[in-house]
Structure formats: C-alpha cells, structure tokens
Amino acid sequence: MEILLVIIIGLLYAAGIYMMLRRSLVKLIIGLILLGNGANLLIFLLGKIVKGKPPIIGASEKMLGEIYADPVPQALILTAIVISFGLQAFAIILIKRAYKVVKTDDLDEMNATDEDL
Amino acid sequence: MNNPYIVLPVILQLFIAILLMFSWSSKNIQKLISVTGSLIALVISLLLLIKVDNEGIQIMQAGGWEAPFGITFVADTFSALLVLLTAIAGLAVSVYSVGSVRNARIKFGYFPIFHLLIMGLSGAFLTGDIFNLYVWFEIIIISSFVLLTLGGEKAQIEGAIKYVTMNLLASVIFLTAIAILYGLTGSLNMADLSLRVAEIENRGLVNVTAILFLVGFGIKSAVFPLYFWLPASYHTPPPAISAIFGGLLTKVGVYAMLRVFTLIFIPDTFLSTVIMVIAIFTILSGGIGALIQNNIRKVFSYLIICHIGFMLAGLGVYSTLAIAGAIFYLVHDIIVKTNLFMVSGLIFKFKGTYSMRLLGGFYKEHPKMSLLMAIPLFSLVGIPPLSGFWGKLLMIQGAIDQSNMLVVFFIILGSFLTLFIIARLWSEVFWKDGPELPEKKHIKYYNALKPLKRKAMVGSIVFLSLISLGIGFGAEWVMRLSIKIAENLMDPTLYIQAVLGN
Amino acid sequence: MKTIIFKTASVYLLPLLLLFSIFILLRGHYLPGGGFVGGLMASIAFVIHSFANGIEKTKNIMSIHPGFLMPVGLLLALASGALPLFFGESFMTGLWMENAVPVIGSVGTALFFDTGVYLVVIGVTLTIIFTISEGL
C-alpha cells in the first residue's frame, strides 16, 4: 500500500509540475490541482498508515491501545481540501475572465504588466 | 500565561467584516464601520503590546485543548508588535480608501475583504501552530486575490494570473514541507517542534525540509530568484490596495522565516550560507531592477524586493544584534512602504500618471505636499535620524561583530542604490520641469474630489509619516523592543516554556 | 436536461434533499456528517432544481440572495466561538447545555458553529455556481 502511494504521489507531483510548465492557462490550473492532490496524499502517507485501528477509546478502557490510526493527518487533509476548493474555484473564474479580457490562453502573450507606462 | 483575550484582534476584524457584509449596499455606512473598527483594532493591539511587554508571553489554547494537542495562539513581543503595526497600517489604508477607492469597487465588497485580509495577517502573526499558519496564509492570499482583481482591468487580470500562480505554488510547497515535518516529528505545535526537530538524527532530511520552508516563504516574501510575480502585479491595483500589499503581504513571509528559522530550524553553516547568498542577490536584483524602471509604483515594487534582502541578510548573519536590526528594519519598512504606495496614489490624483518621464514640477506646484512626501522617501533611504537608518546600523554592527564583511558591503551597496533611486525619483518627479499633461477624462483629479476625501487621503499619509518620524526620533524605544525580541528569538526557552508549561 | 421526468423529480427532490442535509448536519458531531457536508448537500439540492427549471426560478424559491447567508452563517459561527470568552474560557471552547433536547440530542456551541458553517457553505457554493453559470 505504501509503495503504491509513493508512486502515485511521485506521479502527481511530476504531472503537476509538467502541466504548470505548459503555456496554456487551463493546463496551469490543472497542474496546480494535481500538485495540491499530491501534497494531500503526502500528508496521508507520512501520517503513517494504520489499517482497522480507529482512534476510539473503548468503553471499558481509559487510554488508546498501542497502535492506532492518527486522526490528525485526516483533519489536515480535510482542511487543505476545503481551502483548495475555494482557491480553485477562484482560479477557474480568474482564467475565464482573463480569456475574456485578453482573448488568449497563451501565457506568453500576457505581457501588459511589463509595458513601460 | 493563559489569556483567552489575545485573539481579540483577529475576532474583531472578522466581526467588522461581517458587519460590513450586512451593510453591503450602503457605502457610507461601510466607510464609517471600517474606519471606526480599525481605530478600535489599533487600541486593542496597543493594549496587547503593552500587556505582553510588561507581563511576558501570553498564550491561548483554542478550545481549551492543551498544547501540543490543540491549536495554540501565542502573543510574544514579536507577534504583538507586528499585530500593532498591522493595525496601524490597516487604519491608515482604511482612511485612505475612504478617499481614493471608487464606488464600483466598494459595491463589489472592497471593505469586507480588506478586513478579512487584516484578520488573516493578525492571525498569522499570533498563531503558534505551523498548520494553522498555513491556514492563515491561505486566508491572506485568497483575500489578496480578490482585492487584486477587483475592477477587472486588463493589466490587473494579467498581473493577478502571475500572482495567483506563484502564491498557489508557494502554498503547495509549504504544505509539502508541513507534511514532511509532520512525518518526521508527529507534531504541529511550533514550540513542540522546536524540541523534537533538535532530536532528529538525520540532519540531511531536516535540511531538505528547511529548504522547502525557505522556498515556500521565499516565494511569498519575494526573494531572489522567486520574486518575479511581485513587480508584475503590485503596480496594477488601485493605490490603496498596493499600499496594504506592499506594506504587509511580503512581510508576513519575512515574519514566518524569522520565526521558523529561529524556533524550529536553527540554521547550520549550510543553511545560513544559503540564506546569506539569497539575501545578497535579492538586494542586488531589487536595487538594479528599480534603477531601470520608469513607473514610480514599479520602482517602489523593486525597492520592496531590495529591502526584503536587508532583513534576510540580518537573519543570515544570525546574531542577536543582526536579528534586532532586521526586526527594526521590518517595523520601519511596513510603515514606510505602505506610506510610499499611498504617496504614489496621491501623485497620480494630482497628475494623472505614474510615469517618471511625464511627471515633473511637483515641488513648484505643491511645495507643502512635496515636503510631506519627502518624509517617507527620505526615511526609506535611511538618512539619520530618520527611521531607516537605525535598523541598518544595527544590522551592520551585528555583521561586523561576526566579521561578515560581505554582508556589510552589500547592505551599504543596497543603501547607496536606494539613495540613488530615490534621488533620481525626487529630481524627476519633484524638481525637473515637467511637460504639460493633457487632462484625462476618466480620472477624477484631486481638485475635483470632495474636501472630506482629500482630507482622508492626505490625513492618512500625514499619520504614517508622523509614525515613521516617531520611529526615527524615538528609536531608543523601538530599539529596546527589537533587541528584546531578538534575544527571545535567539533563545526560545521562554517561548517554549510559555507554550508547553514546563 | 429539461426533460419532464427530471423537472417533476426536481420539485420533490428539493425538499427531500434539504431535509436530508439537515439530518446530516445534526448527526455530524459524533458520526460522519457535519456542517460542511450538509451545506454541500443543500446546495446540490438547489443546483439540481436550477438545472431542471432555470436559475431564475431557483432564485425565486430562495427569496433571499444566497450571498446573504454568508454573513449570517459567519456571525453564527463567530458568536458560538466567541461565547466562551464571556465566561473567561478560551476561544472556541465547547459549552454544553446540561439537559439533552429531545430529537436533537445534547445542544452545545458546536452545534451552532456547525449550523454557521452549513449556512456559509450554502451561501458560498450557490454564489459561485450562480455567478459562473450566469456569465456563460
């Protein structure tokens, strides 16, 4: 399971960076989304994967058993997902506006900010 | 010391934002709420700083969960000072916005989002949890995205794309770094991390994580070679927005670096060399970049980068004096950069252009206004006894003590570059006889503004100029605070004790 | 998408999904669910309705602008978080009523916080979706 996750995370990071290096705006956003997912899985992986041991204290016990699944990474991932949901919604609307205003999808042609005014 | 009220600066800003959202349609009520709220925030932050300075570090465990399990908010002198500076800059920009932001932008929620941005900044300064810091960073960047694109002009959108991309990338790198750090230590509380990271045997992995943090914060604070988004975007939004961006946004990155690299990752020779090299190149590229610019707002943007380099150099030297210098410079820079972007907006209101080639004769036409503008400009250069001088003096002293002459040389070179740039700007904008400028129809000139709006714009510049004069002439007071902060940063035992209990 | 089956179904689905979203919201403290999921569910209910009947009709049903839910929800969440401050406790400390309320169960500040999240999520999601689909 771990080795599979490692490969997937590597692929997601690689694909994300590759997509970000394209000149198209849409691919840029897709790249960012892939990178974000890679980072989320990385948190999940590095939080140590434990199967079938939920962090719940039984009625008769006072403490958790020796090995249990760490709930913190899941909380972190959930937070990160919610945040990236908002950011991606904004980014998508932004590229839509940009396409309307600049009339191109090509990053190389967006150089109005370098004009010497 | 446990004190549940240290989150008040954050809660207050959220409350103001909510009130503003309820009065969405009435722009006059919004202006009133924003200014009053910022004033209250200033008072609260001042009280917080006084309390922290007198009684030591104050902490709050959110939800009553003890550290290191819950989210801890920590107000040490450094955090409290920066929260106060945020409140000062927030008040000034809020008043300035009353005079300068167009009604169309207010209609789309300029004020609520502005206060959410201030909330994010205060939260980032107060938190003692690394993941919580990430969350505050996200709040800051998403509010800044909206502020940057509000209005939707072509240059704004294009600038925003570069800004958004680089900041999202920085967030992902920051998140990756947090993931690895959590994997290494199993903790997120910064005080706890400080203890646990010191125990890790595999220093190589620790250094890699530190570099990831450095890159993440580096993009946010615009250091070499990751600064290209800044001059592409900071000159596009209205001056009030550039002012808050230029004054505070990059400085959060510097704050995070100062915090993380003194508390969690103590720089070894490798790391401090990396920081120092980055600092030197940042000073150089920012200074040289500013030399060739013609748009005054772009000049100021490059100067931000140049001066970020100074603070980073202070961190790179890594001695109490040098870090105290960096903190003094941070204090000065927040006030002065905010002020400079507001000044550029005022110049635009008079002349209708930002181009140095077209500007001119400002001193002849408005001598009093020019003298007012001279204060932030020459504070920036650091002519003694104005505020920029003392921070650099401390840093140079610190670097000489460590016999680090390279840093001394580049700080002095950076100062000369700044001096040259400001002298050129002064002679181009204020002294030379400018060409007659045609009246542009879509611009509302200063003379056409209502008296209240004029007073709001000039008043906020006067307010910040007085504060930067105060920092310069009351340097003893700020220096005492900076040295206290630097001592606490270099020896974080007090911080760790306050958070973890024993 | 505007088939008669879908249109008829959407009218019945809307109240059902809203009820289900409230159920998800209420069970969220100890079981899977909560304000965020419930809010998304409720906004999906409105989105399905708008697919079938057009955005204008959905807006008429809602009778208030979804954007208005944002400050209301934020205020509720902030108030429930800040309430412990008046008792000298830390921000966001859970305060619970002593006796359980029938049907709902124990009531505490967490429930109000979750309700706030629920409202904010509905407001934000619907505002985003309506803005995107109007601009097309």
Is the pLDDT confidence value at B371 over 70? Answer: yes
Task: Tell me if B395 sits within 8 A of B333, measured CB to CB.
Answer: no
Q: Is the pLDDT of residue B113 over 90?
A: yes
In angstroms, what separates the C-alpha of A89 from chain C's closest C-alpha?
8
At C103 the pLDDT is 72
Establish if B60 touches chain C: CB-CB under 8 angstroms. Answer: yes
Q: Spell out the residues 6+ positions from residue C105 whose beta carbon is closer than 8 angstroms to its own.
A: C26
Mention every residue, 6+ apart, whose C-beta is less than 8 A from residue B419: B381
Q: pLDDT tens for residues B272-291?
A: 999 999 999 999 999 999 99
Mean pLDDT over each residue of chain A, to the nearest integer: 86
* Highest averaged pLDDT of the listed ranges A3-12, B55-64, B228-237: A3-12
What does residue C60 show for φ and ψ, rounded to 5 degrees?
A: -65, -40
DSSP designation for A77:
H
Q: Quick one: pLDDT at residue C90?
A: 83
CB-nearest to C91 from B15, B24, B60 is B60
Distance from CA of C117 to the nearest CA of A (A): 12
Chains touching chain A at 3 or more Cβ pairs under 8 angstroms?
B, C
The pLDDT, as a whole number, for residue B274 is 92
Dihedrals phi, psi of B474, to nearest 5 degrees = -100, 35
Contact C130, C44 (CB under 8 A): no
Compute the nearest-CA separation of C125 from chain B (Å). Answer: 16
Does the beta-carbon distance from B179 to A43 stay under 8 Å? yes
C135 vs A contacts (CB less than 8 Å): 96
Kindly indicate the confidence band of residue A116, based on its pLDDT and cuts at 50, 70 and 90: low
For position C136, what pLDDT does the model report? 56
Asked if A54 has any chain C CB less than 8 Å from its own CB, the reply is no
The distance of C28 to chain A (nearest Cα, Å) reads: 15
CA dist B360 and B431 (Å) reads 6
Strand partners, B129: B189
Per-residue burial over B421-452, b if 16 or more Cβ lie within 10 Å, else e, is: bbeebbebbbebebeeeeeeeeeeebeebeee
User: Mean pLDDT throughout B204-226?
Assistant: 92
Show which residues on chain C lie within 8 Å of chain B, measured between beta carbons: 67, 70-71, 74-75, 78, 81-82, 84-85, 88-94
Subunits in contact with chain C (3 or more CB pairs closer than 8 Å): A, B
B12, B18, B139: best to mutate for the C interface, most C CBs within 10 A: B18
Q: What's the confidence (pLDDT) of residue A98?
A: 87
Chain A: residue whose CA lies nearest to C124? A86
Q: Dmax over Cα atoms in chain C, in whole Å?
A: 58
Among 1.10.1660.10, 1.10.3720.10, 3.90.1330.10, 1.10.287.3510, what is the CATH number of A2-51+70-105? 1.10.287.3510
Q: Do A93 and C132 touch (CB under 8 A)?
A: yes
Q: Which residues of A touch B353 (CB under 8 A)?
A: 117
Residue B104 pLDDT greater than 60, yes or no: yes
pLDDT tens digits, B142-192 = 999 999 988 878 888 888 888 999 999 999 999 999 999 999 998 899 999
Count: domains in chain B: 1
The answer to whether the Cβ–Cβ distance between C90 and B61 falls below 8 Å is: yes
- Determine the average pLDDT of the residues in B332-355: 91
Q: What is the pLDDT of residues C55-100, one digit of tens each?
A: 888 888 888 888 889 999 999 999 998 888 888 888 888 888 777 7
Q: Do B61 and C78 touch (CB under 8 A)?
A: no
Among the partner-chain residues B11, B18, B63, the one whose CB lies closest to the CB of C90 is: B63
Q: Show the CA angle centred on residue B497, arms to residues B495 and B498, nearest 5°.
A: 65
Percent of chain B having pLDDT more than 90?
59
Mean pLDDT calculated for residue range B232-253: 90
| Shortest CA gap C25–chain A (Å) | 17
Task: Supply angle C-alpha A75, A78, A81, rounded to 5.
Answer: 150
Region A70-74: mean pLDDT is 87
pLDDT above 70 (res B1): no
B22–C94 CB contact, under 8 Å: no
The angle at the Cα of B88, spanning B84 to B90, to the nearest 5 degrees, equals 110
> Which of C78, C88, C94 is facing B11, going by the closest CB pair?
C78
- The structure's pTM equals 0.94
pLDDT in tens, B387-432: 888 889 999 999 999 888 999 999 999 999 999 999 999 998 888 8
Give the pLDDT score at B446: 80
Distance of CA B499 to the CA centre of its chain: 26
CB pair distance less than 8 Å for B152 and A97 = yes
CA angle B275, B278, B281 (to 5 degrees): 150
Phi-psi region of A53 (alpha: psi -120 to 50; beta: other; left: phi over 0): beta
> Hey, are the CB atoms on B165 and A32 less than 8 Å from each other?
yes
The answer for A 68-107 residues in CB contact with B (under 8 A) is: 70, 72-73, 76, 79-80, 83, 86-87, 90-91, 94-95, 97-98, 101-102, 107
Distance separating the N- and C-terminal Cα atoms of chain B: 12
Pick the closest to residue B346 from B332, B328, B364, B359 (CA basis): B359
C36·A82 Cβ contact <8 A:
yes
Q: Is any Cβ of chain C less than 8 angstroms from the Cβ of A82? A: yes
Q: Residue B230 in contact with residue B304, Cβ under 8 Å?
A: yes
Higher pLDDT, A85 or A16: A16
How far is Cα A30 from Cα A26, in angstroms, rounded to an integer? 6
> How many residue pairs bridge chain B and chain C with CB atoms within 8 Å of each other?
43
pLDDT for residue B181: 93
pLDDT of B420-444, one tens digit each? 999 999 998 888 887 777 777 777 7
pLDDT grade, residue A14 (50/70/90)? Answer: very high
Cβ-proximal residues to B292 (8 Å cutoff; 6+ apart), any chain: none
Chain C partners within 8 Å of B18 (Cβ) = 71, 74-75, 78
CB distance B265 to B319 below 8 Å:
no
- What pLDDT, in 10s, does the model give residues B240-250? 999 999 889 99
B467 and B317 Cβ atoms separated by less than 8 Å: no
Check if B74 contacts C (Cβ < 8 Å): no
Where do the H-state alpha helices sit in B186-228?
Answer: 190-199, 203-221
What pLDDT, on the 0 to 100 scale, is given for residue B306?
Answer: 93
Average pLDDT, integer, range B127-140: 94
Cβ-in-10-Å burial (0-12, 13-18, 19+) of A89 comes to middle
Task: Answer yes or no: are the C-beta atoms of B74 and B21 closer than 8 Å.
Answer: no
B391 is in which domain, residue-wise? Answer: 4-500
Distance (Å, whole) CA B395 – CA B464 = 24
d(Cα C19, Cα B69) in Å, to the nearest integer?
36
CA dihedral B259, B260, B264, B270 (to 10 degrees): -120
Query: Between the CA of residue B325 and those of B281, B378, B390, what are the distances in Å?
Result: 19, 19, 8
Cross-chain residue pair A110–B161, CB shorter than 8 Å: yes
